[in-house]
Amino acid sequence: MLPAVVNALLAGSTYRAACEAAGIPWATWCGWLREHRAGGHSDPDVDGLVAAAREAYAKATNAITAQVRVAGAKDWRAAAFLLEHRQGDPKARHDERRARHDARLTKAAADKAAAGVSQPVVVIELPASLVRPREAS
């Protein structure tokens, strides 16, 4: 398992892709990482795997940074793109969170409708000085 994760990370993969290639569920990896950061995992092999993976990721990041510097004389865009996206696409994470939030709101509204709970209607009366008459179209 260790060589698969380390080699994938050294090749430029993200942690998630490296774990998938090694057959480690992402939730398991996140748990191992949390325990490693909190002082160490109870299994020294797991702790060693996490430490080796973090070192491999750092080495790969440094190698990509060096590649960007060398390639900058000709065309650095491909290496810069890879370096920029190694943490994952921030927009994609935002879109995913937004979709989950919208889904929760939709489900809550559907549950209320199914239970016969109506949404409250708020009526606000504005002073005549704030209301503009509509123009005829």
2-11, 52-61, 67-76, 99-108: range with lowest mean pLDDT: 67-76
Determine the pLDDT at residue 89: 58
The 10s digit of each residue's pLDDT in 113-128 is 777 766 666 667 777 7
Domains in the chain: boundaries: 2-93
CA 114 to chain centre: 34
Position with higher pLDDT, 27 vs 75: 27
Other CB atoms within 10 Å distance of the CB of residue 69: 11
Do 13 and 21 meet the contact criterion of CB atoms below 8 Å apart?
Answer: yes
Q: What is the average pLDDT value for the chain, to the nearest integer?
A: 81
Do 43 and 51 meet the contact criterion of CB atoms below 8 Å apart?
Answer: no
Determine the pLDDT at residue 100: 82
Name the amino acid, one letter, at 20.
E
18 pLDDT above the threshold of 90: yes
